[in-house]
Amino acid sequence: MGNRIICMSKKDKYDNGGVKTSRSSRKMLTEEEILHRQALSIVVQQHQQRLTSQRFDNGSMSRRIGSATGSRRRDLSESFSNGKPLSEFLESIKEKRIVLVHGEGFGAWCWYKTIALLEESGLLPTALDLSGSGIDLTDPNNITTMADYAKPLIKYLENLQEDDGKVILVGHSSGGACISYALEHFSNKISKAIFLCATMVSNGQKPFDVFAEELGSADLFLQESKFLTYGNGKDKPPTGLMFEKEQLKGLYFHQSPSKDVALAMVSMRPIPLQPLMEKASLSIENYGIGRRFYIQTLEDNALSADVQEKMVRENPPEGVFKIKGSDHCPFFSKPQSLHKILLEIAQIP
């Protein structure tokens, strides 16, 4: 099946924190400010909850923050033009459940803009905290396998009933390895898997191998990196990874609004390292029958456009979409463009 390649335009209503002078734009900025405050409030609550060691559900983040293809290249805005209102466009979406899986160091909190936009469009988004992330209290140093790391996602899919229908999975960054793992074990419950500037690994490949394209070999990185944590002692292999704030800003957020960067700086947690070093075991019978789509971010410093293009070339998905002007976190830097692409993929028959 040929690749579907779609390139987003640079016009995002209020991406990049741009300030417009119209009344409607001021209203949007006010609404976005409210969303920011709600998200920050939740982060503070989560921090307090972790300090008091209260137990919470390891599954989805239940709080809502705010209410066959060709290979031609075109602007996604065509899908919403041609005189058709969005309501008619959405009628073609069969599966309305979208599960959002964050990447390394993030949590369900990072999807707050995407959750609000999807809900406003009549879809049913659920954002999960992976093990050791967000408000999940698992010690990241004790997460040693992909099965451990993806446990909340696996639990969600196990509990999904036939009457619920299939779901669309969206995986960001290393979350791509988690949705690949889910495709291998629950392909019958997943209608589409969307890799958002993500580690779309092939069989036998480590998720870290993808980042090694940028960072150097895994062995060299482990020898020289000063960002590693040793939960089992310095004489044992490293168990986690955490970049310094300034490096995070340059790698992940150089196109994101400052308020979202501030949110990330107080919310990100150490990254469990061992799951990223685990070789993927993916079969043609399970993973191979899944419908995969890839969204590339063209100004990404953490996972360059070249590396993303290489993944797409070596492990071809059904469709490829591109977001111009986005850093590694399009849910912050280009939320409207990301939203439109998610809708576009959701309505593909």
| Tokens at 69, concatenated | 């293809």
Q: Please report where in the chains the tokens 């979202």 appear, as a residue.
A: 260
Ordered strands of the 240-241 beta sheet: 228-229, 240-241, 271-272
**97 within some domain:** yes
Catalytic choice (148, 328, 337, 339): 328
CATH number at residue 33: 3.40.50.1820
Measured CA to CA, the distance from residue 213 to residue 234 in angstroms comes to 27
| Residue 77 confidence (pLDDT) above 80 | no
Mean predicted confidence (pLDDT) in 69-77: 35
pLDDT of residue 90: 63
pLDDT of residue 89: 61
| 3-class secondary structure, 141 | helix
Percent pLDDT > 90 in the chain is 56
Model pLDDT for residues 294-303, shown as the tens digit of each residue: 999 999 999 9
Catalytic choice (60, 173, 187, 337): 173
pLDDT of residue 40: 56
> If you write DSSP's letter for every residue of 60-106 in order, what string do you get?
EE---S-------EE-GGGGG-TT--HHHHHTT----EEEEE--TT-
Catalytic residue check, 15: no
Domain count, the chain: 1
| 3-class secondary structure, 2 | coil
Cα dihedral 282, 288, 289, 290 sign: positive
Fill in the DSSP letter of residue 160. -
| Tokens at 151, concatenated | 């446990």
pLDDT band of residue 320 (cuts 50, 70, 90) is very high
Catalytic residue check, 173: yes
| Residue 319 confidence (pLDDT) above 90 | yes
**62 within some domain:** yes
| Tokens at 339, concatenated | 């939203």
Find the domain containing 97 and state its range: 5-11+22-346
**166 within some domain:** yes
Mean predicted confidence (pLDDT) in 28-57: 48
**52 within some domain:** yes
Measured CA to CA, the distance from residue 97 to residue 192 in angstroms comes to 11
| Residue 198 confidence (pLDDT) above 90 | yes
Residue 305: is it exposed, middle or buried by C-beta count within 10 angstroms (0-12/13-18/19+)? middle
Least confident of 49-53, 235-239, 254-258: 49-53
Is-contact 252 304, C-beta < 8 A?
no
| Residue 220 confidence (pLDDT) above 70 | no
Mean predicted confidence (pLDDT) in 50-75: 33
Model pLDDT for residues 104-128, shown as the tens digit of each residue: 999 999 999 999 999 999 999 999 9
Model pLDDT for residues 266-314, shown as the tens digit of each residue: 999 989 999 999 999 999 999 999 999 999 999 999 999 999 999 999 9
Ramachandran angles phi, psi of 311, nearest 5°: -60, -45
**16 within some domain:** no
| Residue 7 confidence (pLDDT) above 60 | no
Is-contact 169 193, C-beta < 8 A?
yes
pLDDT of residue 242: 79
Closest C-alpha to 197, from 287, 311, 88: 311
Q: Most confidently modeled of 61-75, 89-103, 258-272?
A: 258-272
Give the other-Cβ count within 10 Å of 309's Cβ: 15
What's the longest Cα–Cα distance across the chain?
65
| Tokens at 150, concatenated | 């993806």
> In Å, what is the CA distance from 105 to each residue of 66, 168, 201, 293, 317?
23, 22, 19, 23, 26
Q: Are strands 97-101 and 5-7 parallel, antiparallel or unpaired?
A: unpaired
Catalytic residue check, 180: no
**17 within some domain:** no
pLDDT of residue 55: 30
CA 241 vs. chain centroid, Å, equals 19
| Tokens at 50, concatenated | 């972790």
pLDDT band of residue 202 (cuts 50, 70, 90) is very high
